Amino acid sequence: MPNLKEKEYRKFEDIKYMRKDGSGYWSARELADVLDYSQWRNFQKVIDRAMIACESSGHEVAYDFAEVSKIVEAGATSKSIKDYELTRYACYLIMQNGDPRKEVIAFGQTYFAIQTYRQEIADHFNQLDEDRRRLVVRGDIKQWNQLLVETAHDAGVITNEEFAIFQNAGYMGLYGGLDVEDIHDRKGLTARQKILDYMGSTELIANLFRISQTEEKLRKDKVEGAEAATKVHYTVGKEVRSAIEKIGGTMPEDLPVPEKSIQQIEKEQMKRLKDKAQKGKLMLDE
């Protein structure tokens, strides 16, 4: 995650509003402009994903994503459009669910996670039930996996075959030599089911550490070549496994397989949001 430059800091600070009670908020419409989303419908999809993450983390969606109306000029007339007054936490979740290829998103992640807020989010995680923990960590993994793909590509992992070998190496390091196919078999999954969608929060956290640390090492060490990158991924995975062993933790391949997939949990969370919407507690676009 990059250091926050003054110019980038001002982008987010300049669109911050303050209420009389001292609380701050950001307009979703203005935030979309800063984040270079030219079409609202695309940004609304990011907001919807952030709402699910908010619900999963135990926060009140209607509070963090307060829906409001805004009057805008439309030629000779004016019209009312939907907007949201976003808390800092809502903005943080939007950054986590935005396009990681946008540099401004990376700066936004830093801005909205600074100082005590990062610790507040970490503390709140410990209060979540297992399903919600899985959703939160799986969301982080999606974000980091996208970054890892790009960083690995920059390092020289180009072809589909090279990338398959690269991915396999990380799992083999973390899972004591088991490759993707072995893990599928061990979990009783079909070839079309994703391993990460059938992991508990403890196993997901181990993989998040593997992915994030590999991405960082490839980037910081300026690794070149598919073979060298693959070796880094294996080594990092092995080091994570060693750390688990040193603290007396359960090896990832021995952890139980959850009954519900991530997709099932997401459907349950979306149903809860829609039920709230029907009761008039919040609005959620399809």
Most confident of 46-50, 72-76, 218-222, 282-286: 46-50
What does the alpha-carbon distance between residue 128 and residue 137 come to, in Å, rounded to a whole number? 12
81-100 pLDDT per residue, tens: 899 999 988 998 999 888 87
Q: Which residues contact 35 (CB under 8 A, 6 or more apart)?
A: 43, 98, 102, 104, 105, 108
**What are the structure tokens assigned to 197, written together?**
């969608």
Q: Which residue has the tokens 């209060």?
A: 127
Percent of the chain scored above 70 by pLDDT?
87
pTM: 0.61
Cβ proximity of 12 and 111 under 8 Å: yes
Region 101-129: mean pLDDT is 69
What does the alpha-carbon distance between residue 230 and residue 94 come to, in Å, rounded to a whole number? 32
- Whole-Å CA distances, 106 to 78, 98, 100, 159, 189: 35, 9, 7, 27, 34
**What are the structure tokens assigned to 168, written together?**
């396999």
Torsion over CA: 26, 27, 33, 39 (sign): positive
Q: Which helix (H) or strand (E) holds 9?
A: helix 6-13
| Res 278: pLDDT | 64
| Res 119: pLDDT | 52
Region 101-124: mean pLDDT is 67
Instruction: Indicate whether 152 pLDDT > 90.
Output: yes
Instruction: Indicate whether 5 pLDDT > 60.
Output: no
Region 218-230: mean pLDDT is 93
Cβ proximity of 93 and 53 under 8 Å: yes
Query: Which residues, in sequence order, are bridge partners of residue 17?
Result: 25
- Low-confidence winner among 70-79, 130-139, 162-171 (lowest mean pLDDT): 70-79
Summary mean pLDDT of the chain: 86
Q: Which residue did the predictor score with more confidence, 73 or 118? A: 73
180-200 pLDDT per residue, tens: 999 999 999 987 899 999 999
228-246 pLDDT per residue, tens: 999 999 999 999 999 898 8
Q: How confident is the model at residue 269 (pLDDT cuts 50, 70, 90)?
A: confident
> 53: closest CA among 105, 9, 7, 92?
92
| Res 73: pLDDT | 76
Give the residue extent of every domain in the chain. 6-127, 130-268
Instruction: Indicate whether 146 pLDDT > 90.
Output: no
Cβ proximity of 142 and 266 under 8 Å: no
